[in-house]
Amino acid sequence: MIDLHTHILPNIDDGASDIEISLQMTEALYTQNIMKAVCTPHFDPSSTSLEDFIKRRTSALSRMSGSRIQLIPASETILHEYLFHYHDLSKLCIEDTRYLLLELPYLKKLDSKILDDISRLLDYYNIIPIIAHIERYHAIRRKQIKTLIKMGCMIQLNTGAILNKRTRKKALQYIKKEYINVIGSDCHDMQKRPPYMRKALELIEYKLGAPYCERLEYYAEGIINGIELMKKKSYIIE
């Protein structure tokens, strides 16, 4: 299984503050039998240039040779108008794929501006957005998730939403309704936001059944391998 959303890389964003913590985070995933993690440091085009971000990400990744799990470079990119100053956003995508973990700005509703920007990423930039931590946006309910899926987006849920008793019911419903393609820990450190994957997978299996975990694994593997999953027949649980 793969952790598709992590802030493991050292000293690049508000995630791991040093290499020791980064390696502790990879070890924590290793002990949960999560052998791959997508490294998704925050990219905010209003505060950093794309070139500088890539340089810092490459340098941070080069210090991670002690990791026993595979680390895949990517980003968690905030949707901001400055993003469209660049002609090519491929380096922000999960390495060698068209998939981009996309964080939406705080929104009161999923308005036409946001939808237009997402369409631009899909059509002009040839990118497949994976909407990060869908549970965070209170303006996005089932109807809006369906709209995003219809547009061609993938949907990611944080494991915290499954582990937190207050949000668990809704998170599991979303998985059961097949709104969610992938999960990720969105880990930032070992204390407040640690890399919890296995516990969430166990809960999904216990509450919904193993096929729902297999479905999440199918999408995660497909994404990191750059497979065009939206063009394939949906993975439907019988």
Q: Where does this chain bind Fe ion (CB under 5 A)?
A: 76, 186
Q: Which of left, alpha, beta for 147 (phi over 0: left; psi -120 to 50: alpha)?
A: alpha
149 vs 114: CA distance, rounded Å = 14
Q: Name the residue nearer to Fe ion (CB basis): 103 or 117.
A: 103
Q: Within 13 Å and on the Cβ side, how many CA atoms surround 227?
A: 11
To Fe ion, the closest distance from the beta carbon of 188 in angstroms equals 7
To Fe ion, the closest distance from the beta carbon of 44 in angstroms equals 12
Q: Name the residue nearer to Fe ion (CB basis): 11 or 119.
A: 11
To Fe ion, the closest distance from the beta carbon of 206 in angstroms equals 26
Q: In terms of Cα–Cα distance, which of 231, 233, 190 is closest to 215?
A: 233
Q: Tokens 């470079």: give the residue.
A: 73
Q: Name the residue nearer to Fe ion (CB basis): 117 or 186.
A: 186
Q: Name the residue nearer to Fe ion (CB basis): 135 or 186.
A: 186
Residue whose Cβ sits closest to Fe ion:
186
To Fe ion, the closest distance from the beta carbon of 100 in angstroms equals 13
To Fe ion, the closest distance from the beta carbon of 131 in angstroms equals 12
Q: In terms of Cα–Cα distance, which of 129, 76, 74, 137 is closest to 105?
A: 137
Asked if 155 and 131 touch (Cβ cutoff 8 Å), the reply is yes
Q: Name the residue nearer to Fe ion (CB basis): 76 or 135.
A: 76
To Fe ion, the closest distance from the beta carbon of 15 in angstroms equals 8
User: What is the rounded end-to-end Cα distance, in angstroms, of the chain?
Assistant: 22
Q: Name the residue nearer to Fe ion (CB basis): 76 or 189.
A: 76
Rounded alpha-carbon distances, angstroms, from residue 186 to 2, 15, 86, 134, 162: 12, 9, 26, 12, 13
Q: Is 39 helix (H, G, I), strand (E, B) or coil?
A: strand
